Amino acid sequence: MNKITAADLTGSEKLDLVIGKDAWQTNDLGGKVPSVLVSDGPVGIRSDFDAQRIQHPSALPSVAYPSFEILGQTWDSELAKLYGNCIGDDCIDRNIDVILGPGIDIKRDPLCGRNFEYLSEDPLLSGTLAASYIEGVQEKHVGTCLKHYCCNNSEYERQFCSSEVDERTLNEIYLRNFAWAFEADPWCLMCSYNLVNGVRMSENKPLYDFAYEHGFHGAIMSDWIACKDAVASINAGMSLIMPYEEPRKQELVAGLKDGTIDAEALNTAAQRIINLSNRNEAEKKLRDKSKSLTLEQRRQVAYTAALEGCVLLKNDGVLPLAKDKDIVAAGAPFATYFCGGGSSRVQPELPFISVPAKLSELGYRVEYCDAVWGARAHSTMFGNLKGFYDKALAADAIILGVGSNCDRISEDFDQQDISLSREELVLIDSAVKTGHPVILVVYGGGAVDLSEVKDKVSAILYVGYPGECGSAAIADLLAGVHSPSGRLAETFATLDSFPCTHTYRDHAVNCYSEGLDVGYRHFNSHHVPTLYPFGFGLTYTEFSYSDFRVERDGDGFKVFVTVSNVGQHEAADVIQIYVDDLTRCVYRPGAELKAYKRVNLKPGESTTVELTLNRDAFAYYNVNYHQFVVHPGIFSIELRTDAETVVCSQRVQIEK
């Protein structure tokens, strides 16, 4: 371990240490402090450095895993950890020290261009899955950088707009997920571009203090060019300004000269980078021995994540597909849709193979028609729609790929709407007119308004951005090789149903005036209809529940339920436990998710699931005391199959 401390460095060396050496590495001070190499991610390695740390003109190929949106829809902590293991092994192969992820911002706004990079609209699901991912990566002695801290819930004017959030909402919704993720000890924390309540996040000392007070121990770095005032950022508690920018360096130099940079803050920042370097050097010695997954095994995990994360939204009995049918397939997504745009876009290693091609490999009679050629801006280009219609008339079933590609859903900008394009609606209507079953395979980066089509088609499978192995997973789900078992990690509804679409926003401020009513909390509390609720997902089998009971366990409770697969297909169920405060003394949204577990069952198989609710599960943030508190009262502990559907419940008394 390097025995140098910040006290051993000159002021000039400390300045060099707290700003990047270049776009991707920390400064090594001429060999005094080993540098740390970071990479974009976190759904694959997006780096132009090879294993010898030679920089290439563009990003090198890497396994392209499903988007975090899909990982969120698995509700599978064990898979999230295994996914992290794969990323760790990928980093070892490429000699990467820290992966820039996971991203865990709350899906407040369905228009947000980066929703596909985030896990959920719920802080518990988001924070706990992120913690599992972090554990998985860091088991391989590779670091993670949790992001984007915080309230980066829109790409609109993201570098200049202030997210205006009340204290209680900030703590219950937008910081709670980070607090859960801190339990996994990420090496770094990345600030977001935006301001929060008028203070730029790169300079937000109160929120930096919150992180360190709630279990974070590492170095806070800026998102790339998020730092606008180097001195203010270091004084606030930032440790690393990325990337290197000459104006930022000159600000530091001037601050050291005129005394505006706080000497203690600079010393602390430099020491945290030394600590990061020391930790990295110690962990680096263990990496090769920790690598355990072959490239083929990592691709299998990518396939499994897509398989578990796709959500069956509707099925009138047409799925699984019968093999004695003639099938016509059409839609631009079947060509190349596998990921969203921006810094998480990975160059896949495998050649892209479409869903129709994969179905053909499984023995289905499938003909692909170029009814749609591709997507541009907010429209879709028609191909030979007449030719498709003629062939569809003679078919037995029709599969349509619809949705948005990485040019429509990406970092840097928000969507204009969440509807399917006009051209896709025409394509769907043409298919429906044939009288044959129509199966929609919906790609995209988050909630999609399917209100115009959901009653017209026979089946809907939401696949998001499924990664390079996604087509194989989708084909296996359609064919019934495996049962769909994903559950939505966000609410699907019409755009104007989301409260954020009615709050004030301009070039300077984004008012979170809906408060706690984010996602399903809004729809349940105000009885607003959804298309498909949070936690919803169909399978090819049926589950039954029995022996639901709640037992006191110290300051909390244990919840037990026996779940049985009473259908004909092996599938997974997600046990979702919600808590509702029935005697509330302050406003609380309706029942909130407090525990979950995914279980896989064969036909006829049963298992008893045990989940723990500690006292925190009943707490709310009290703005008078500036902390979470539990008031005595009556609470309903509920087993739900989704945020709207109660299966059984039990009331409990909470005392002081």
Domain ranges of the chain: 6-288, 296-511, 541-654
In whole angstroms, what separates CA 639 from the centre of its chain?
24
Q: Which CATH superfamily is domain 6-288 in?
A: Glycoside hydrolase, family 3, N-terminal domain (3.20.20.300)
Check pLDDT > 80 for residue 2.
no
Q: What is the pLDDT of residue 337?
A: 83
Residue with tokens 């401020």: 509
What value does the mean pLDDT of the chain take? Answer: 96
Distance CA 598, CA 612 (A): 14
Residue 332 has pLDDT above 90, yes or no: no
- Residue 490: which pLDDT band, with cuts at 50, 70 and 90? very high
Contact 344, 338 (CB under 8 A): no
> What pLDDT is attached to residue 372?
83
Q: Which fold has domain 541-654?
A: Immunoglobulin-like (2.60.40)
Cβ distance 113 to 446 under 8 Å? no
Angle subtended by helix axes 422-433 and 385-393, to nearest 10: 30
Task: Find, among 597, 590, 586, the residue nearest to 633 by Cα.
Answer: 586
State whether the Cα torsion 457-460-464-468 is positive or negative.
Answer: negative
User: Tens of pLDDT along 26-83?
Assistant: 999 999 999 999 999 999 999 999 999 999 999 999 999 999 999 999 999 999 999 9
The structure's pTM equals 0.97
Q: Which of 40, 76, 105, 223 is catalytic?
A: 223
Report the b/e string of 337-376 with b at 16+ CB within 10 A: bbbbbbbbbbbbebeebbbbbbbbebebebbbbbbbeebe
Phi/psi class of residue 165: alpha, beta or left (left: φ > 0; alpha: ψ in -120 to 50)?
beta
146 Cβ contact partners less than 8 Å away, ≥ 6 residues apart:
101, 102, 104, 130, 134, 178, 181, 182, 186, 188, 189, 190
472 dihedral zone (left: phi>0; alpha: psi -120 to 50; beta): alpha
- Of all residues in the chain, the percent with pLDDT exceeding 70 is 100
Residue 399 clears pLDDT 90, i.e. is over it: yes
pLDDT on residue 407? 86
Contacts of 644 (CB under 8 A, 6+ apart): 520, 523, 524, 530, 533, 536
Q: d(Cα 352, Cα 336) in Å, to the nearest integer?
A: 7
Q: Inform me whether the pLDDT recorded for 609 exceeds 70.
A: yes
pLDDT at residue 291, as a whole number: 92
Q: Quick one: which H or E segment has residue 443? A: strand 438-443
- Residue 341 tokens read as 């745009």
Q: Which fold would CATH assign to domain 296-511? A: Rossmann fold (3.40.50)
CA 497 to chain centre: 22
Contact 371, 301 (CB under 8 A): no
* Residues 539, 544, 549, 554, Cα dihedral to 10°: -30
Cα dihedral 93, 95, 97, 102, rounded to 10, equals: -40
**Each residue of 535-582: pLDDT tens digit?**
999 999 999 999 999 999 999 999 999 999 999 999 999 999 999 999
Do 92 and 298 touch, CB atoms closer than 8 A? no
**In which band, very low, low, confident or very high, does the pLDDT at 1 lie, cut at 50, 70 and 90?**
low
Q: What is the pLDDT of residues 253-295, one digit of tens each?
A: 999 999 999 999 999 999 999 999 999 999 999 998 999 999 9
Question: Are 322 and 469 contacting, i.e. CB atoms less than 8 angstroms apart?
Answer: no
> How confident is the model at residue 379, as a pLDDT?
78
As given in the structure block, the two tokens for residue 465 are 């951005």
Is 223 catalytic? The answer is yes
Number of helices followed by number of strands (H, E) in the chain = 17, 26
